[in-house]
Structure 1
Amino acid sequence: MSKLTTSANRRQFLTLLGLSTLAAGCGAATGNGAGAAGKGGTKTLRYQGWTGSVIPAELADGLGYLEDVKLKWVGNTISGPQDIQSAATGQTDFGGAFNGAVVKLASRNSAIKSVISYYGVDRREYNGYYVLDDSPIHTARDLLGKKVGMNTLGAHSEAMLDIFLQRHGLSQEEIEKAEPLALPPVNTAQSLRQKQIDVGVLGGILRDKALESGGIRPLFTDYELLGAFSAGTYVMTERFLEQNPDTARTFVTGVARAIEWSRTTPREEVIDRMTEIVKKRGRKEDAAPLQYWHSYGVAETGGRISDKELQLWIDWLGKRGDIPKDEVKASALYTNEFNGYRHQQAQSPAPSHSATKSGS
């Protein structure tokens, strides 16, 4: 069992994030990296992936939707905030994170823009806040003084917890009595069953496996709380977008097409194509978790972004005092300029290069 991070680290985490994003903003201004070099722009985008997963950008590449733009994998990321910081400093050309992290980074004068939503919450893709079947926790007020295990502090899971408590009438002083704890997702269900935590936040394969094992029940889910919504965006630096508009347009539109393809294609076929992509890239990964894939959860057609998807986090962070109130404008944080998706573009993906067609 990994050592749990106590609630005393909540503010420390956010402070460190703020300091690191200040550095990120300075790095972005230097224009280091592929996006800053070469007359006519780059056709290669450096990025970080996730072990055993196929992110929308990789799916777009596998479907042939990125045309002459190539992806260059430089390693796997450890978190969304780290991923977008790498993009902001020029270590990569795009990165993705929960929109609250994007707002946080932008509030520190980092010259980044969200260009497309790439993940979200829907009836098939969501995070649940689970307790043991015999737990005395049944209401929001029952969470006071209780330990809630989640993957990262100051991000999506903590925001959902705060919103849940707020919507059930708890004061800010009361809300702070609930105790978020950071621990590796793979340990969450075990920690819950061993009663080291009172509530565990579970999503994806870890949620499905825990439910299959039984003995737990949901207190609430983020889908029940807010309905379907896009929760995270890919960001690029303003400098990159200025110097590589054609590449950015090809990339964003290709990702939009891939999102819509995954939405309209039978799930089994999507999983087959993802499995093929994982096997071909040769990173010594286990493709089995892909069988638990349900959806990217992107709410808007083609991943287009609107004010409301960022305003939620501006309000949340402002209320907590983590960003200056009324100084961050949602409309300034994103652009749909490079998203040229049209409905018909989602049809007829490029054929598989393997001997066996995907979905056969």
Structure 2
Amino acid sequence: DQNSAGEARFNPYPKDWGTSSTGQFWDRLSASNEYTAKNVSVLRMSDSELYTTARLSPLSLTYYARCLANGNYTVTLHFAEIIFRDNRSYQSLGRRVFDVYIQGQLLDGTIIAVKQLSSKSKQGSREFVNEIAMISGSQHPNLVRLYGCCIEGKHLLLVYEYMENNSLAHALFGQEGSPSYLDWPSRQRICIGIAKGLVYLHEESPLKIVHRDIKATNVLLDSDLNPKISDFGLAKLDEEENTHISTRVAGTIGYMAPEYALWGHLTYKADVYSFGVVALEMVAGKNNVKYRPSEDYVCLLDWLMDPRLGSSFNQEEAIRMIKVALLCTNPSPTPRPIMSKVVGMLQGHINVQELNMDPSIYGDDLMFQSLRDEYNEMRPDKA
């Protein structure tokens, strides 16, 4: 490894090294030892010295280390070639099929999140342009802030404010069965915040925007658990002179409104439906649809309150949120309320209108009936 800032040379002797690194770091002429990563964990295995260092690679997203034993490892990926080249360390935040999310730091110390989209796919390029167009002119406390963008060679980069508490999905559902705990006041505040963000997109923004992919993973939480809607790659403009948009269906199964999923008929009411699903997820603490290979699908409507809340929740607010969520998920788009009314109902400023739907049009009426029965049992006048 004569050039520590360039590509590492493959040497079959000893055989515990392998590399596919290419490219050069930008400051390769400076004297630096920062291209060798050192383990900071406590290692309790024989020959632990073999697991203490790893060689960084300018153009590789793969972590290489000497003689890795079988097991689970927590590693930090380093992307020194990406945009903020005065900063050496980046942290992986998550990954989608077409995106890579990383954490970085600006010169003034501001922590940022960088979203790298795939330039190899038409979808990645299309979402890059779309996201800039939709969010660059949108400023609202409940929308994630876009700092800037960069096209450098084949890299498509979007730079966002960093959200310390990851996503709502992470807080509610977690990973490997270990979700973070959200108390009821936090859930109520988050639900209202998401609704306010949608009010801005649908009713207040100069560009009326249909997000098309409202779901728990696309709601990010800052250090104070304030929600911010993110990922505008699928968003569409809602032209006032159009009653609806006929478009290619794109989004997430389980959150898409029936009229959009079945016929591609898109209006802002599709976002209202998706919001209703997210609201039910916050009440139940469960994913909308959870697949179990050995069983049938498990539907959220089989649950009501998250058992982790115990009795520590405001029953009046919970009933109100459930009722609003059911209004939003009406199979027919016309009866769904506009988001400004949703905010008023959630805050208790507007009476929640009576639920009136015919779910048999689109699905199993018995599934909805079980939810209605449980809801009626929770009503204060039934106590």
Interval containing the TM-score (normalised by the shorter chain): under 0.3
Greater gyration radius: 2
Q: As a proportion of its length, which structure holds more helix? A: 1
Q: TM-score, normalised by structure 1?
A: 0.26
Q: TM-score, normalised by structure 2?
A: 0.25
Higher-RCO chain (CA-CA 8 Å, sequence separation at least 6):
1
